[in-house]
Chains A and B, each alone.
Chain A
């Protein structure tokens, strides 16, 4: 299992691995926001938490179909399924996706927050919200990716399937960032965010394994 995780991370970092894809997308969204909505600090600061969260969510969504599609196309997924329990496979794949997108986005977001005049006190809650909330995005996403793995150009279907499941995480995560930015206590939405992530962590490997089993046959 650790070998599989290391392989996925190695594949992600090497050229064409898509490690930079989500981060670059996030960067572009945040850098372009001031051009689109105007540079007034007050307006930017008000929307900063929401835009940062939305950017992170879309960046995670963008890289979802790579979780299984590449291994499916070259036959690696079949070979892995012969040896590795599918539940474990899904867990490791989702974890690798989180490490290369969610965790990286959480580190990057407070820095990019400066571009949107995110108040200084808001950086830590933003980071905490993302690092605790984004595992739900990766695990729900891995489940969605497992569902559409056999379908050519399944990306569109994947986005439609996964978006409604992302709504609670987005609401809670953005609420953490907003309250943090306004100096309000943010422990309740953070706890709910953690609950959503833990729920996804516990359920999605089994749901995803069932989906993979159906896709593989």
Chain B
């Protein structure tokens, strides 16, 4: 009985994924912070069922790129063609409240996203035993799992993740890998900034080639070399 119910729910979720199955295509995008251009002519494609790993040195604009794609800040050049409502974003910060329990938090986000995936999110990251634990009493890794569970809860098809494996232990990483495989299998896609090893196989995207002002950077390096 319980299994049949769960089967129904996942079928429902799958149909929603198929309806929203979409390719994120970016070309000629210029992004930056506080008016300063960091990356220009950014171009890549993120097809349903694939994952993309974004690489680049510190301060290059990886987080800024994710924030721009999520719709939190406008691009400085070019336009975004995808529907911002297809995107869910897991930022650096876990966005948990110290006084709300794990279950309350995920139920709240399920209501905000108008989905019924709160239980799926809890199950995906093995948070069952932490249901009643307030956010303030979670360890860094547990907070991260809870934040990643929000992606499952969101029911959205394009996941943008900023260093998802930070603070995760081996168990957490394998849970993340399993969740990502399911998500990609259902026609979703993921784009992550990652410095360590990847949770799953993904295409690499090196942002270094899009750096906006390599001339200035080279001059700086030259100056240092002269000194």
B126 CB-CB contact with A under 8 Å: no
A120 CB-CB contact with B under 8 Å: no
B97 CB-CB contact with A under 8 Å: yes
Complexed CA–CA distance, A168 and B1 (Å): 63
User: Contact between A78 and B112 (Cβ–Cβ < 8 Å)?
Assistant: no
B56 CB-CB contact with A under 8 Å: no
User: Contact between A3 and B111 (Cβ–Cβ < 8 Å)?
Assistant: yes
A152 CB-CB contact with B under 8 Å: no
Complexed CA–CA distance, A11 and B91 (Å): 22
Residue-by-residue, is A75-105 near B (CB-CB < 8 Å gives 1, otherwise 0)? Answer: 1101111111000000000000000000000
A124 CB-CB contact with B under 8 Å: no
User: Contact between B89 and A14 (Cβ–Cβ < 8 Å)?
Assistant: no
A4 CB-CB contact with B under 8 Å: yes
Q: A3-B111, A11-B97, A16-B98 are in contact. Are A216 and B91 (CB under 8 A)?
A: no
Complexed CA–CA distance, A10 and B71 (Å): 29
**How far in angstroms is the closest Cβ of chain A from B177?**
23
Within 8 A of B (CB), among A169-217: 216-217
B74 CB-CB contact with A under 8 Å: yes
User: Contact between B113 and A79 (Cβ–Cβ < 8 Å)?
Assistant: no
Complexed CA–CA distance, A81 and B84 (Å): 11
Complexed CA–CA distance, A7 and B96 (Å): 12
**How far in angstroms is the closest Cβ of chain A from B160?**
10
**How far in angstroms is the closest Cβ of chain B from A74?**
6
User: Contact between B73 and A7 (Cβ–Cβ < 8 Å)?
Assistant: no
A17 CB-CB contact with B under 8 Å: yes
User: Contact between A11 and B100 (Cβ–Cβ < 8 Å)?
Assistant: yes
**How far in angstroms is the closest Cβ of chain A from B96?**
7
User: Contact between A217 and B73 (Cβ–Cβ < 8 Å)?
Assistant: yes
User: Contact between B89 and A79 (Cβ–Cβ < 8 Å)?
Assistant: yes
Complexed CA–CA distance, A186 and B99 (Å): 43
Complexed CA–CA distance, A11 and B105 (Å): 11
Q: A3-B112, A216-B72, A216-B73 are in contact. Are A82 and B87 (CB under 8 A)?
A: yes
User: Contact between A75 and B93 (Cβ–Cβ < 8 Å)?
Assistant: yes
Chain A residue nearest to B84 in the complex (CB): A82
Residue-by-residue, is B68-100 near A (CB-CB < 8 Å gives 1, otherwise 0)? Answer: 001111100000000010011101111111111
**How far in angstroms is the closest Cβ of chain B from A197?**
28
Chain B residue nearest to A80 in the complex (CB): B112
Using a Cβ–Cβ cut-off of 8 Å, how many residues does chain A contribute to the interface with B?
21
Question: Of B92, B94, B108, B150, which is within 8 A of A3 by CB?
Answer: B108
Complexed CA–CA distance, A80 and B111 (Å): 12
For A14, the chain B residues whose CB sits under 8 A away are 99-100
Residue-by-residue, is B128-151 near A (CB-CB < 8 Å gives 1, otherwise 0)? Answer: 000000000000000000000010
User: Contact between B111 and A76 (Cβ–Cβ < 8 Å)?
Assistant: no
Complexed CA–CA distance, A81 and B67 (Å): 12
User: Contact between B72 and A81 (Cβ–Cβ < 8 Å)?
Assistant: yes
Q: A4-B112, A216-B73 are in contact. Are A79 and B99 (CB under 8 A)?
A: no
For A79, the chain B residues whose CB sits under 8 A away are 89, 91, 95, 109, 150
For B112, the chain A residues whose CB sits under 8 A away are 3-4, 80, 83-84
Q: A11-B100, A82-B89 are in contact. Are A217 and B95 (CB under 8 A)?
A: no
Q: A74-B94, A79-B95 are in contact. Are A217 and B74 (CB under 8 A)?
A: yes
For B98, the chain A residues whose CB sits under 8 A away are 16
- Chosen A-B contacts, 30 in total, with CB atoms closer than 8 Å, are A3-B108, A3-B112, A7-B100, A7-B108, A10-B104, A11-B97, A15-B99, A16-B99, A17-B99, A74-B93, A74-B95, A74-B97, A75-B92, A75-B93, A75-B94, A76-B97, A78-B89, A78-B93, A78-B95, A79-B95, A79-B109, A81-B72, A82-B70, A82-B71, A82-B87, A83-B112, A84-B112, A216-B72, A216-B73, A217-B73
| Residues of chain A whose beta carbon lies under 8 Å from any beta carbon of chain B | 3-4, 7, 10-11, 14-17, 74-76, 78-84, 216-217
9 interchain residue pairs of minimum CB distance: A75-B93, A3-B111, A217-B73, A75-B95, A14-B99, A76-B95, A79-B95, A7-B108, A83-B112
